[in-house]
Each structure stands twice: as C-alpha cells, then as structure tokens.
C-alpha cells in the first residue's frame, strides 16, 4: 500500500508504539520501536541509561539509533525526545512522512505513570505540561501529518492515518 517508511512522533505516552504495531500490520510493513532498539543496544532500561549517562549523552545515543535504522520501508515509533535531534529527524523525514500523534497533555498524565521511572528526557523540576509547551512547536514544525488522537481508539487512529496517507493531500 505504501512504498516508504512512516514515522510516528509525539509526546511520551501518546500511543506511538501501540498505534505503530497496528499501522505496520495494516500497511504490511515491518515495525520498529526506537526506544526498544535503544534499550537493546545499550542493555539497560531508558531511565537507567538517562540517569547513568546524563541528558546530552542520552540524546546523542538516541540520535545514533535513529541514524542507524535499516533503510527498508518500515513503520517507526520514536521516543518522545527524538524531536531534539535535527539529524535524526532529517533522516526520518527522508524516509517518508512524519505523523505526529497529538494528545493534550492532561490526557497524557494517566498514561505516563511515574515520570522518574519512564526514561523521559526532562529537567529536574520539569513536569509533563512543561515538556508539552517546549515540544509541541517542535513536533508541529516537522510533522507531515498531525493526528489528534483524543477520544479515538488505536484502530481508529490507524484508519485515520491510512486514509490521510492514501489521499495524498497531507504529506
């Protein structure tokens, strides 16, 4: 159905991994979760990697993972902080459309659990609202499609993505 990769971007907890698996099935493409690749490559959970290495080294390692992805058309779910890597985002955009899954930050709170255990790149006193304020303009600037996911099931989100990609109007 599609001859390029589709990359899902957005805040932590928005559903990129869940939607990504379903989208890959629908498009008959392989699925890659860059957070999982990152953890496998470095042999540690994201939060431990962040704690041990610090923000800058963590982001550099995340960029390395983004730049090392197999060029085969794939559905890619990125970590929320992938947006901080200009090189990584440029590489992902060269593969196909970036689809921003957008959910208002108050709806993210129950999905996230304890931010201190999730591996979320943030300042010491930074809360999810602060992250949203900082990141939303970045997602908006690079996204080829913005999909508002509030109130929709993962299957409905996939159908919306496929319809918009197939229409050729957005990317």
CATH number at residue 90: 3.40.50.300
**Domain annotation covers residue 159:** yes
Q: How many distinct structural domains can be found in the chain?
A: 1
34-67 per-position pLDDT tens digit: 989 988 988 887 778 777 887 888 888 889 999 9
Q: Which two tokens stand for residue 50?
A: 């962040």
Q: Share the mean pLDDT of the chain.
A: 86
96-144 per-position pLDDT tens digit: 999 999 988 777 766 665 555 555 655 667 676 788 888 899 999 999 9
Of residues 5 and 12, the one with the higher pLDDT is: 5
At residue 157, φ and ψ (nearest 5 deg) are -65, -45
**Domain annotation covers residue 1:** no
pLDDT at 171: 45
């Amino acid at each position: 159905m599609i001859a390029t990769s589709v990359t899902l971007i957005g805040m932590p907890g928005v559903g990129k991994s869940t939607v990504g698996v379903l989208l890959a099935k629908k498009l008959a493409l392989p699925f890659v979760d860059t957070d999982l690749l990152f953890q496998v490559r470095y042999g540690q959970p994201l939060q431990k990697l962040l704690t041990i290495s610090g923000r800058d080294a963590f982001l550099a390692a995340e960029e390395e993972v983004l730049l090392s992805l197999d060029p085969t058309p794939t559905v890619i779910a990125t970590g929320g902080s992938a947006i901080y890597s200009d090189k990584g985002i440029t590489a992902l955009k060269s593969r196909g459309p970036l689809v921003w899954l957008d959910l208002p930050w108050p709806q993210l709170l129950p999905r996230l659990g304890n931010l201190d255990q999730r591996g979320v790149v943030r300042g010491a006193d930074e809360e999810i609202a602060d992250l949203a304020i900082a990141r939303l303009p970045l997602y908006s600037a690079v996204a080829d499609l913005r999909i508002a996911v509030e109130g929709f099931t993962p299957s409905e989100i996939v159908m919306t993505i496929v319809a918009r990609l197939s229409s050729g109007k957005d990317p």
